[in-house]
Amino acid sequence: MAAYGILLVMISLWSIPVAWTGALSQIDQLIEGSRWESLLEERQMLRTAVQAFAGLLPTILLALFLYLLPLFLELLAEFKGVKTHALRDEFVQRFYFAFLFIQIFLVVSIASFFTVSIDELAANVGELQRARDVLDILSRNLPKAANYFFSYMILQSLSASSATLLQAGTLITRYVLGPLLDSTPRAKWLRHTSPVSVRWSAVFPAYTNFACIALTYCIISPLISAFAILTFGLLWAAQRYMIFYVYQSDYDTGGVLYPRALNQTFTGV
């Protein structure tokens, strides 16, 4: 129970910086009507820089926030007392997807919606007598949250596919740390012959979350379908090459991760 309590606290506290990145992506709406808007209209170069800042910085910050999460979940699984690597991967996949779906999809969508709609809601709070009135505001402003996911999916697909092919960690451990740390022939042999493996428990949830975002927003903002096709095309090409020529499994999960990933995809439906 302690492990689940830690996860609940993490999700609650992590919502604050994630919501901030979602609000930051709507910076045009935040400065609308303020003195900053007139300043940016006078300086087109500064306005372009701010728009680029609003498009890329939230996604980069969010990627940094989530980079160490799978490693922490693995430690949490060991703290919980899982006995095998397969059970650990199941634990990580289950809660990593839940974490991503709540933080990346729900929190960002809600934060972006309220950032865009807060003035309209405050001005018309007395007129919102029916649920239909709120839904009208939701239908007008929620598609604007898709702007965040456009940049998120493209940046993640480009960075993930290139990082998958580059394998920077393997290069550093073999050609930088190896000569520094390995002093015996056996240590050098083990480092160069150890298989390059992948933790699918951390890969599947990210891809499943992409699918959930695409399935949900393809109705609200159909343009995201093109971004989803590009994203999964790049990821497919990178992972296909790595599976055929690079990856070697050091243990077997029994094929339980892929069916769970398919079931988790229906969350977006």
Per-residue model confidence as pLDDT tens digits over 116-138: 666 666 656 555 555 566 666 66
User: What is d(CA 37, CA 29) in angstroms, rounded to the nearest whole number?
Assistant: 10
Domain ranges in the chain are 1-81, 96-268
Regarding pTM above 0.85, the answer is no
How far is Cα of residue 10 from the mean position of the Cα atoms in its chain? 16
Q: Which DSSP category does 266 fall into?
A: G
Section 203-211 average pLDDT:
91
List the structure tokens of 140: 């007008």
Size of the chain in residues: 269
DSSP letters for 143-165? GGGHHHHHHHHHHHHHHHHHHHH
Instruction: Give residue 208's pLDDT.
Output: 93
